Amino acid sequence: MGFAIAVDGPAASGKGTIAVKLGALYGYPVLDSGLLYRAVGMKVLGQGGDLADEAAATAAARSLEPSELEGPVVRTRAAGEAASRVAIYTPVRRVLRDFQRDFALQEPGAVIDGRDIGTVIAPDAPAKLYVTATPEARAMRRWKQLVGQGETVTYEDILADIHTRDARDSARADSPMVAAPDAVLLDTTEMTIDAAFDAARRIVEAARSRWETAKG
């Protein structure tokens, strides 16, 4: 196993930005695992299917192509909502698991952000962060991002989405959103992006020293 960095946390906590910056710092590839679930959800909808149809979601996951993770559609509000609905299905999670595990284990290292990376995908990752912020701070960030992408939504709509998504992601039976016992919590509510990254970098550097010492 390389130096795997697991960055978990709720929607719009800043984990994606932190993951990308950590990847650039170490020269490691970065996987935004939420894109996998977003692409599955949008594929079901694109085929005229129903998000309540577990078999359709599983088939969509099985036939997922890398090109389906790209483009603006998977970044929309609708994709986030669809993602959290297909993410409750165990067969969908199982299909996506091996790809994420292989990515996490690659040498010399990798960064993955998601909800269950430190708990299920890479429980032995030497560096684990759990990035949070208040629902209001996260809603404000996500609202600005979506408006910047040209979507017409209100802050109140996005705050409601965030609450719904947090509840669904935390309550699901398979791989719920929860901090791994050995993850370091990072609350970015009052932080700028630079401050949040700096704090994350220091946490990961400390983990890296411990990992190198243990390797001998």
Q: Does 80 bind ligand C5P (CB under 6 A)?
A: yes
Q: How many CB atoms lie within 10 A of CB 171?
A: 10
Smallest distance, ligand C5P to C-beta of residue 123, A:
13
Query: How does strand 3-8 pair with strand 109-114?
Result: parallel
Contacts of residue 140, Cβ cutoff 8 Å, sequence gap at least 6: 155
The span of 33-41, 101-109, 181-189, 206-214 binding ligand C5P (CB under 6 A) equals 33-41
In the list 6, 89, 103, 115, the residue contacting ligand C5P (rule: CB under 6 A) is 115
- Report the residue number, 113 or 203, with the smaller CB distance to ligand C5P: 113
Smallest distance, ligand C5P to C-beta of residue 143, A:
14
Smallest distance, ligand C5P to C-beta of residue 212, A:
27
Smallest distance, ligand C5P to C-beta of residue 34, A:
2
Which residues ranging from 11 to 30 are in contact with ligand C5P (CB under 6 A)? 11
Distance, CA of 5 to CA of 207 (rounded, Å):
9
Q: Does 84 bind ligand C5P (CB under 6 A)?
A: yes
- Alpha carbon of 171 to those of 51, 166, 168: distances in Å? 18, 8, 5
- Report the residue number, 68 or 116, with the smaller CB distance to ligand C5P: 116
Residue 175 region, left (φ>0) first, then alpha (ψ -120 to 50), else beta? left
Largest CA distance in the chain: 55
Tally of CA atoms within 13 A in the half-sphere of 70 that contains its CB: 3
Residue numbers at the binding site for ligand C5P (CB under 6 A): 11, 33-34, 37-38, 80, 83-84, 87, 114-116, 165, 169
